[in-house]
């Protein structure tokens, strides 16, 4: 299988093409078969490839299938590679992707455009797999742009709804800003290394001999890393380019789960982790990554506190958790970042799917203020969502506990600004715990706040619950790779990724003595904050619901600021969108286009008409007036011949 790595991305592409071209007339069952079959096969192929990878001694496998672009010494090929990092990504993408495909067959059963949905979803899988399997930046960028396209198509899936099509455009445009930086970063890397192949760059002697660009020394690598991080910011929804992700919730819920929580938005983290050798040569860029990640984590969490739309809360939670991952990368704990990426893929996909199940049960209602008391009516959804909430808030022995712990530990140990980063990380953990339990309590507990006669609450079909249960299991045990580390043993996950992240692993120290004690203390503190968040949420939303409103009233300015998401959208509208629209309307449209281009075209046309109008009168049909013109012409010719005014030679002379 390893030799035929291209089959893994090809299968979803085939599924997409078949469904997209022929699916319109097929019944849903056949569309299901194609979509689930292609992704399921892709998952099996990935598992088999990973097995062979393990068997082959876990050394980087790399194969060039064909040359795509060749120009001079530059070569960009369809080259795929498999290493430990790819293993994690491929399994997450195909595995979680497959589960969500199954879920979507239940969720989308009554929607129009069924085949179109699955065609797009498979297309997304194809591009995402290209992204994680690519062995050079150019091919990675193909996947990078492709997932952006699929994301755009799926956010705007309900394209008749203006807000949905607007959200799709917003996502695409904001991503383009990041992609612009990414491309510049690639150009810079090409200039420095004369190639864009991962392996060649990372092992090149140029890089080995490259001085570490300490603070104050802003060299090529720092700029290249910052530009690549700009692309990552766009794709992974970090400050200041996060604005598209909350709006992306306009798409169907399986899309939110797959693309805007579990896989695509982690592409930025993946790229940073993949380029970790470059980043470690540029500590300034690392610091920027850490600060942006930490700021985003905190910032998004505060917005999440007050949102009432169940999917919006989860969207801001995603932005916040992505911030955690970047924080981990920024402080050099790359394996912790990837670990959190994986566990987050499990529990956030589960949260979104469970939220979708709730929305399904409520007949399309997304406002948590009109839910409540659902726990008894949809037990499975409640149970699985509770597991996911435990995982994300870091309750011990659920998946998120281990990964979040590793990140906070890494932040605490960081040389530059460690304590500040740790403090904000911990604060974010508190906020996370609060808003997640707020979500649970508002949705599932307390008294129903909807009309029970009109809303017929019903549990979802098993095609939806099955994936929920599997993901709940994964959210529970997904972090147990790191379990031995808890009892002073090895951290299997970090050790597994160690060949990729050679040389800078703080996690190894975790197993011994003082560092171990420190980690235990930090873990205890993190669990404590999570429990405080739980307690506050319980007190405010179950015990004394009236207190929550009172608190909101007494802190009205803060509350409205948070509710309006710090007015960032309004700020962007005023600073970027409005001026752009003004320039487009007044300069480009009314001046350049209407006056300039249209004016030139219309002017030539009306000028021709006017000349024709004037000359038309000479064509009178009167023979004698023609005779006049003949005479005039003859006289002119004679005059020119005999009285040539220019130079010594007459025309007559030239003729002779």
Partner 1 sequence: MVPTNYYVILSAVLFGLGVFAFIFKRNIITIFMSIELMLNAVNLAFVAFSQALGKLDGQVFVLFVIVVAAAEAAVGLGIIILIARNRQTLNVERVNLLKL
Give the three-class secondary structure for 490: coil
Does residue 107 contact residue 76 with C-beta atoms inside 8 Å?
no
| CB nearer partner 1, residue 557 or residue 621 | 621
| CB nearer partner 1, residue 73 or residue 619 | 619
Binding residues with partner 1: total (CB under 8 A) = 7
| CB nearer partner 1, residue 574 or residue 627 | 627
Residue 628 touches partner 1, criterion: CB under 8 A: yes
| Burial of 175: CB neighbours in 10 Å, binned 0-12, 13-18, 19+ | buried
| CB nearer partner 1, residue 415 or residue 619 | 619
Say how many C-beta atoms besides its own lie within 10 A of residue 347's C-beta.
Answer: 31
| CA triple 645-646-647, angle to 5 deg | 120
Q: Which residues does 354 contact at the CB level (< 8 Å), separation at least 6? A: 381, 384, 385, 388, 468
Residue 573 touches partner 1, criterion: CB under 8 A: no
Phi, psi of 147 (to 5 degrees): -65, -30
Residue 616 touches partner 1, criterion: CB under 8 A: no
Stretch that binds partner 1, among 33-41, 236-244, 274-282, 625-633 (CB under 8 A): 625-633
Q: How far is the CB of 628 from partner 1 (least distance, A)?
A: 6
Does residue 172 contact residue 251 with C-beta atoms inside 8 Å?
no
Does residue 396 contact residue 433 with C-beta atoms inside 8 Å?
no
* Residues numbered 294-323 forming contacts with partner 1, rule: CB under 8 A: none
Residue 652 touches partner 1, criterion: CB under 8 A: no
| CB nearer partner 1, residue 453 or residue 624 | 624
Residue 215-254 contact track with partner 1, rule CB under 8 A, x = bound? ----------------------------------------
Question: Out of 447, 453, 617, 624, which residue is the one contacting partner 1 (CB under 8 A)?
Answer: 624
| CB nearer partner 1, residue 521 or residue 636 | 636
| CB nearer partner 1, residue 205 or residue 623 | 623
Nearest to 179 by CA among 246, 126, 129, 228: 228
In angstroms, the CA 199 to CA 3 distance is 18
Tokens linked to 568: 């960032």
The total number of residues shown for the chain amounts to 656
Q: How far is the CB of 623 from partner 1 (least distance, A)?
A: 8
Residue 639 touches partner 1, criterion: CB under 8 A: no
Q: How far is the CB of 646 from partner 1 (least distance, A)?
A: 27
Does residue 86 contact residue 72 with C-beta atoms inside 8 Å?
no
| CB nearer partner 1, residue 571 or residue 634 | 634
Q: How far is the CB of 636 from partner 1 (least distance, A)?
A: 15
In angstroms, the CA 649 to CA 37 distance is 89
Q: How far is the CB of 654 from partner 1 (least distance, A)?
A: 23
Question: Out of 574, 595, 627, 652, which residue is the one contacting partner 1 (CB under 8 A)?
Answer: 627
Residue 631 touches partner 1, criterion: CB under 8 A: yes
Q: How far is the CB of 587 from partner 1 (least distance, A)?
A: 53
Q: Which residues does 294 contact at the CB level (< 8 Å), separation at least 6? A: 323, 327, 330, 411, 421, 424, 425, 428
- Cα distance from N-terminal residue to C-terminal residue, the chain: 87
Residues that bind partner 1 (CB under 8 A): 621-624, 627-628, 631
């Amino acid at each position: 299988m390893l030799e035929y790595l291209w089959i893994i991305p090809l299968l979803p592409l085939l599924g997409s093409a078949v469904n997209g071209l022929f699916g319109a007339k097929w019944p849903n069952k056949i569309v299901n078969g194609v979509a689930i079959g292609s992704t399921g096969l892709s998952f099996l192929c990935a598992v088999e490839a990973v097995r062979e990878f393990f068997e082959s001694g876990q050394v980087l496998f790399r194969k060039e299938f064909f040359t795509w672009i060749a120009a001079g010494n530059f070569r960009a090929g369809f080259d795929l590679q498999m290493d430990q990092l790819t293993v994690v990504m491929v399994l997450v993408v195909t595995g979680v992707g497959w589960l969500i495909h199954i879920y979507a067959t239940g969720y989308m059963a009554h929607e129009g455009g069924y085949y179109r949905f699955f065609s797009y979803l498979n297309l997304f899988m194809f591009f995402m797999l290209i992204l994680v399997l690519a062995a050079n930046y150019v091919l990675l960028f193909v996947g990078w742009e492709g997932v952006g396209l699929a994301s755009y198509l799926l956010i705007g899936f309900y394209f008749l709804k203006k807000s949905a099509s607007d959200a799709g455009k917003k996502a695409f445009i904001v991503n383009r800003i990041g992609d612009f930086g990414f491309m510049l970063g690639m150009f810079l890397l090409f200039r420095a290394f004369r190639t864009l192949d991962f392996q060649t760059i990372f092992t090149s002697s140029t890089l080995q001999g490259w001085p570490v660009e300490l603070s104050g020394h802003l060299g090529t690598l720092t700029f290249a890393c910052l530009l690549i991080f700009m692309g990552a910011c766009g794709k992974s929804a970090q400050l200041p380019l996060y604005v598209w992700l909350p709006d992306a919730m306009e798409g169907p819920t399986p899309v939110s789960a797959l693309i805007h929580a579990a896989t695509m938005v982690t592409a930025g983290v993946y790229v940073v982790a993949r380029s970790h050798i470059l980043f470690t040569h540029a500590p300034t860029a690392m610091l920027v990554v850490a600060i942006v990640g930490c700021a985003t984590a905190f910032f998004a969490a505060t917005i999440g506190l007050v949102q009432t739309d169940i999917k919006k809360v989860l969207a801001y939670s995603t932005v916040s958790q992505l911030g955690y991952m970047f924080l981990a990368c920024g402080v050099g704990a790359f394996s912790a970042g990837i670990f959190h990426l994986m566990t987050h893929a499990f529990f956030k996909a589960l949260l979104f799917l469970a939220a979708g199940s709730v929305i399904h049960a409520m007949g399309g209602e997304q406002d948590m203020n009109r839910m409540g008391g659902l726990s008894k009516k949809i037990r499975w959804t409640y149970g699985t969502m509770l597991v996911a909430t435990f995982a994300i808030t870091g309750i011990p022995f659920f998946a998120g506990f281990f990964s979040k712990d590793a990140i906070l530990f890494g932040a605490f140990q960081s040389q530059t600004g460690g304590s500040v980063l740790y403090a904000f990380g911990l604060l974010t953990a508190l906020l996370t715990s609060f808003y997640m339990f707020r979500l649970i309590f508002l949705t599932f507990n307390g008294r129903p706040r909807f009309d029970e006669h009109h809303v017929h609450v019903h549990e979802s079909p098993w095609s939806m619950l099955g994936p929920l249960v599997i993901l709940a299991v994964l959210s529970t045990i997904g972090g147990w790779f790191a379990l031995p580390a808890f009892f002073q043993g090895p951290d299997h996950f970090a050790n597994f990724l160690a060949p990729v992240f050679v040389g800078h692993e703080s996690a190894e120290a975790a197993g011994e003595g003082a560092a171990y004690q420190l980690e235990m203390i930090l873990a205890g503190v993190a669990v404590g904050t999570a429990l405080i968040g739980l307690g506050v949420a319980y007190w405010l939303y179950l015990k004394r619901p009236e207190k929550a409103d009172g608190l909101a009233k007494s802190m009205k300015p803060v509350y409205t600021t948070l509710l309006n998401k710090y007015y960032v959208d309004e700020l962007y509208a005023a600073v970027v969108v409005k001026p752009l629209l003004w320039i487009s309307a007044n300069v480009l449209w009314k001046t350049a286009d209407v006056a300039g281009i249209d004016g030139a075209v219309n002017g030539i046309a009306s000028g021709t008409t006017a000349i024709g109008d004037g000359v038309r009168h000479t064509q009178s049909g009167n023979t004698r007036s023609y005779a006049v013109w003949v005479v005039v012409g003859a006289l002119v010719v004679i005059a020119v011949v005999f009285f040539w005014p220019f130079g010594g030679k007459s025309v007559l002379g030239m003729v002779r």
